[in-house]
Amino acid sequence: MRIECRDLNVRFGAQTVLDAVGIDASDFRAVALIGPSGAGKSTLLRVLGGLLAPDAGEVRIDGQRVDFSERALLAHRRGVGFVFQTRGLFPHLTAEQNIALPLVHVHGQSPEQARETAHALLARFSLDQDAHKRPYELSGGQNQRIGIARAIAPRPRLLLLDEPTSALDPELTAEVLDMIHELQADGQRMVIVTHEMGFARRACDQALFLADGRILEAGASADLFSRPRTPQLQGFLRKVLEWVP
Amino acid sequence: MPIGRLFLRTPKDGRAKLLLNGLLVAAVLVGFVALSVARVEGRYDFTDLWTYRTRLAMGFGMTLAFSVLSMAASLLIGFASATGSRSRILPVRYLCRTYVNVIRGTPLLMQIYLFFYIIGDAWGVEDRLVAGVLILSIFEGAYISEILRGGLDSIEGSQLEIARAVGFTPAQATRLIVLPQLLRRTLPALAGQFASIIKDSSLLSVISIVELTQTIKEVNAATFAFTTDYLFLGVLYFALTFPVSLLSRALEKRFAYEN
């Protein structure tokens, strides 16, 4: 899989959120998107997921240019799974329905087929006892894992995760990261915005460092973490790793 | 046990105690009404009501029909207005907000006269039944609009983004995500508004629509059994509205989890 971005620009009013972002990531398993808050990480992820059209620039996935017309985006989103930071489920639906409803209405599965897919996924991640519970009855970690299960249910070629653990306590964070790691092992390609530096370094083979709307460093995550070149990344790592043993 | 304890709520009250208190309140209320009737030398006469049973049944049916039709129409008007008052097109937004404020800020009685004798007359709406349903629906629609607008505001914007992310079209997002959540959140309040529609339809009697209240007025003009006629009128309206408010309370409990 290859993701290329050229001269991506996103502005919200007078504020430039993404400034001439260029990416060329290929042959990766997982890309960690790291950087300080407000750097534009979520915005970049939303552009990749087809939830936000850039003001300028282009995105290519496996060489194919993403058409940001609303009509074409419907097709693009079908091939991409998206996991939100928090409250990513539909509150009026059970866990099973959250997974099955898009399968039926977007991916053309029959209701029985979709229910089976949902059950198989929930069972795989030991969530089967939660199949008929609604989000409010579930822990934050369970909510996130069900959100991830929903995102991968249609077998997307790319999974995008937007700080999937930043609203969780450490124990639940571990349970969600374990699930994501298991998906990586299965060959699920992904881009993950995360503040879990241990996970970014060890579980993701590539990394992008974004600051002030610009990509400042990109490459193998081992290199980024052990040999940061820019003062911005050096400073960022010093801060986030300060209390890491 | 001190006698006062009989009237105080405790965590483990027997049925008998609750029944006793209920009966006590009922006795006081019935006693008060009965005493009032006695003081003005009113008389109870149910034979007349029986004589006019067909007309009463027709009036009752008419009120029921007006209410059901107005519920449906006011829901449509309310939904259009709620959506419109959040519109990005300013004239639409202002029109909807003006409608809601003017209708909610003036009495129904004035609206009935104005719509029927001026606007209805000017535009050829001569059928009283059509005019009646229209007037009532326009009035209740303004309240329903506010209920639905509050409901729409309370659905997080992120829900639409999630719906897009899983690949729903805008129409699917509305049908599968927004409407079900809106319904769950607003059903209790809507049920309350439906009870109001039933009661408010009594004012249509002023333009000679022969619904329940007008029927009783006419029957009373012949029987002069004022006490029984109007007590019975109350019983009939209550028989319509009480189930609706029971339903409303049940729904409120059922969907309480949302908040």
One domain for residues B240 and B168: yes
Q: What is the pLDDT along chain B (259 residues), one digit of tens a residue?
A: 577 788 888 888 888 889 999 999 999 999 999 999 889 888 888 888 888 889 999 999 999 999 999 999 999 999 999 999 989 999 999 999 999 999 999 999 999 999 998 888 888 888 888 999 999 999 999 999 999 999 998 888 889 999 999 999 999 999 999 988 998 889 888 988 999 999 999 999 998 888 999 999 998 888 888 888 899 999 999 999 999 988 888 877 777 655 4
Please check whether residue A50 is in contact with residue A66, taking contact to mean a CB–CB distance below 8 angstroms. Answer: yes
ipTM: 0.91
Give the integer Cα–Cα distance in Å for A113 and A103.
9
Looking at the structure, tell me whether residues B246 and B191 fall in a common domain.
yes
pLDDT at position B259 is 44
- B176 contacts on A by Cβ (under 8 Å): 101, 105
Residue A220 falls inside a structural domain = yes
Query: How does pLDDT run across A170-179, given as a tens digit for each residue?
Result: 889 999 999 9
Tell me what the mean pLDDT of segment A193-197 comes to. Answer: 93
Q: Which residue in the set A78, A92, A136 is minimally distant from B167, CB to CB?
A: A78
In the prediction, which pLDDT does B1 show?
59
User: Looking at the structure, do residues B5 and B52 belong to the same domain, yes or no?
Assistant: no
Q: Quick check: is A140 in a domain?
A: no
Cα gap B28→B7, rounded to integer Å: 15
Min Cα separation A145/chain B (Å) = 15
Which structural domain range is residue A64 located in?
Answer: 2-20+28-86+157-240
The number of folded domains in chain A is 1
pLDDT mean over A50-71: 94
Domain CATH number, residue A41: 3.40.50.300
Instruction: Give the span between the Cα atoms of B197 and B200, in whole angstroms.
Output: 5
Residue A104 lies in a domain: no
User: Does residue A141 lie in a domain region?
Assistant: no
Whether the per-residue pLDDT at A241 is higher than 80: the answer is yes
Same domain, yes or no: B27 and B9: yes
What are residue A35's DSSP bridge partners? Answer: none
Q: In the predicted model, is pLDDT for residue A182 greater than 80?
A: yes
Same domain for B135 and B32: no
B33 and B100 inside one domain: no
Domain with B223 in it: what CATH number? 1.10.3720.10
Same domain (yes/no): B36, B56: no
Q: Give me the percent of chain A exceeding a pLDDT of 70.
A: 100
Residue A140 carries which side chain, given as an amino acid letter?
A: G
Chain B contact probe: residue of A80, A90, A99, A162 with most B CBs at under 10 A:
A90
Same domain, B62 and B146: yes
Domain region containing B225: 48-258
- Within-domain flag for A166: yes
Query: Please, what is the end-to-end C-alpha distance for chain B in angstroms?
Result: 42
What's the domain count of chain B?
2
* Mean pLDDT calculated for residue range A183-207: 93
* B57 and B125 together in one domain: yes
**In a shared domain, residues B147 and B195:** yes
Q: Minimal Cα–Cα distance from B256 to chain A, Å?
A: 11
